[in-house]
Amino acid sequence: MSSSSTAVITENRPPSRRKWAALIKEPWLIAIIVLIFASLFIFSVYPIYQVFKVSVVNDEGLDFSALKETLANNYFLTSFWNSLKLGIMAAVFSTVVGFIFAFAITRTNMKGKNIFNLIALLPVISPPFVIALSIILLFGRKGLITNGLFGLDSFNVYGLTSLLIIQTLSFFPLAYMNMKGMLESIDSSIEDASMNLGASRWKVFRTITLPLSVPAIFSALLLVFIKSIEDFGNPMVIAGDYSTLAVQAYIQITGMYNLRGGAILALAIIFPSMLAFFMQKYWISKKSYVTVTGKPSNSGVRITEKHIVWPLFIFCFLITGFVLLIYGTVVWGAFVKVWGVNNSLTLDNFRYIFSLGLDSIRNSIVLSAVSTPFTVVMGMLIAYLLIRKQFIGKKLMETGSMVVFAVPGTVVGIGYVLAFNDKPLLLTGTSAIIILALTFRNMPVGIEAGTNSLRQIDKSIEEASANLGANNFTTFRRISLPLMRPALFSGLFYSFTKSMTSISSLIFLVSVNWNLMTVSILSQIEGSRLGAAAAYCVILFAIVLTALGTMQFLVNRLGTKKR
């Protein structure tokens, strides 16, 4: 039989058989795919399954009594509504602030845009409850502003208002980055053409800029909503009587030793969170708002009218000033003897944490440094398989890799406790359970960065390598991976930063031998040792900024060599 006849027979095979035929030629690829599927099932799907299982199953079989009792409880309904209300309001306010920032920076000739852009990103690389700590230092009973400037000893800083302000400041950078990219990609010649036809600035904004920004706006709304309802650190510190599901689940497990009750409360966060996640990922991504065809022209005239530029500048200046005040207060608080009582400068707070809390600092650095390479390499490998390879179960692999990222961190922590508390996978109390939680929680970001990078690489480069006799492993190692280097470093920095600043999923997994900085900060705040908490935050800032500088240096140096 001729080779051409063999090729025709191969092409006439069903797609599933063609996929298997291609894989059989590369047994190492089959082994990697099987290993990844096994890892995703054990460390992503299985823990979430355990949360569902403990909620509706007891020793005698299915039992919905606890679920029905919880769902009918007024306290649960109040916490559920509070979480939804907080999520919706935080999403709206954060998106509005983020859009104004993005519009001012991308569409005007406003001064100081580089500084505004830099300061807006500070909350992204800081622990989740730093702003809450600063608000207490500024507006608490011994606060610098309420007590020091105005003498308001009875001012109550705790509750929904403070929590909403904190979450808006914490999450508006996510909305800002989302919409900044969209506004930069809109071909400004469309807006210029509308202006040339006599349209006013307001009409151009209302009929062109705003409608074209709809995908980014809805994406930002959904993203901030997810982050808000699953937030644990800020509500734990400053919510007061305003109960949320994430905090109540933690209290049920650690305070009342009610694992089943905590799992049921955590489940209640899953459904709105995952619904918003998949809407944001799939529904919005399929909408098309293309404005750039052929060669884009983004050199349009920026807005210069003072009655537009100055209000935007003042708005950005006030937000930036408040962010600087927040972080400056934390830094100052780290060097104050007793906040609000004795404001003399001292290094006692740092001596205290270095004498008693050095282990948590070391643990955070070591565990983050260990988990980060695993996170990025596995993310890049899965990205390569999803983009470049055809195999049965590809969609299943993609969905499985997103499970732990899509569900709230509280659910992940509870799931890991339930899944790995017995033999043969008895990991509770060890460093391994923390490393695994960090790896699989942050891995989807590496996958996203890798897939975006691979889509920009022409497949013909890899095909040329194959034609020269290289196998797929050599092609991946020598061609694909070096070209994915920018995404690799981006994933490294993000993974390390998120590992250093995470708390919602890890607070259930720490032990006496493996405590972490974020948990120590929360413990210091709960014990009213605000100076020590601030000192921890300053050290955490220094570690993250050092990592950022190192990563940036390596990227620039490698980029120079490449050029």
pLDDT tens-digit readout, 53-74 = 888 877 777 777 777 887 778 8
Q: Measured over all CA atoms, what is the biggest interatomic distance in the chain, rounded to whole angstroms? A: 95
C-alpha to C-alpha distance for 411 and 377, rounded to whole angstroms:
25
Does a structural domain hold residue 549? yes
pLDDT tens for 362-379 read: 999 999 999 988 888 888
Number of domain units in the chain: 1
What does the angle CA 174 – CA 517 – CA 248 come to, to the nearest 5 degrees? Answer: 70
pLDDT tens for 233-282 read: 889 888 888 988 888 888 888 877 778 888 888 888 888 887 887 776 66
Q: What is the pLDDT of residue 183?
A: 79
Does a structural domain hold residue 45? yes
Whether residue 315 has pLDDT greater than 90: yes
C-alpha to C-alpha distance for 150 and 138, rounded to whole angstroms:
11
- Containing structural domain, residue 440: 25-53+348-563
* DSSP conformational letter for 300: P
Average pLDDT, the chain: 80
Does a structural domain hold residue 335? no
Whether residue 297 has pLDDT greater than 60: no
Q: For tokens 């499970």, what's the residue? A: 403
Does a structural domain hold residue 368? yes
Q: Taking residues 308-316, what's their average pLDDT?
A: 91
Q: What are phi and psi of 337, to 5 degrees?
A: -65, -60
C-alpha to C-alpha distance for 399 and 406, rounded to whole angstroms:
10
Whether residue 231 has pLDDT greater than 60: yes
Residue 257 CB neighbours (<10 A): 9
Q: What is the pLDDT of residue 558?
A: 57
Query: Please, which pLDDT band fits residue 332 given cuts at 50, 70 and 90?
Result: very high
Query: Please, which pLDDT band fits residue 163 given cuts at 50, 70 and 90?
Result: very high
pLDDT tens for 365-422 read: 999 999 988 888 888 888 888 887 777 888 888 888 888 877 888 888 889 998 998 8
Q: Taking residues 332-351, what's their average pLDDT?
A: 86
Residue 377 CB neighbours (<10 A): 17
Whether residue 199 has pLDDT greater than 60: yes
Residue 53 has which token pair? 């299982």
**The overall pTM is greater than 0.85:** no
If you write DSSP's letter for every residue of 221-267 in order, what string do you get? HHHHHHHHHT--HHHHHH-TT---HHHHHHIIIIIS--HHHHHHHHH
Q: Checking phi first, is residue 257 left (phi over 0); if not, alpha (psi -120 to 50) or beta?
A: left
Distance (Å) of CA 493 to CA 170, 181, 211, 324, 546: 19, 20, 34, 23, 11
Whether residue 561 has pLDDT greater than 80: no
3-class state of residue 504 by DSSP = coil
Q: Taking residues 207-226, what's their average pLDDT?
A: 82
What does the angle CA 367 – CA 540 – CA 449 come to, to the nearest 5 degrees? Answer: 60
Does a structural domain hold residue 114? no
Q: Taking residues 488-493, what's their average pLDDT?
A: 74
Q: What is the pLDDT of residue 295?
A: 46
Q: Taking residues 467-495, what's their average pLDDT?
A: 71
Distance (Å) of CA 20 to CA 15, 23, 27, 393: 9, 5, 11, 11
Distance (Å) of CA 283 to CA 214, 288, 384: 13, 11, 24
* DSSP conformational letter for 63: -
Domain with residue 536: its CATH number is 1.10.3720.10
Q: Taking residues 422-443, what's their average pLDDT?
A: 89
Does a structural domain hold residue 473? yes
Q: What is the pLDDT of residue 69?
A: 81
Does a structural domain hold residue 525? yes
Does a structural domain hold residue 113? no
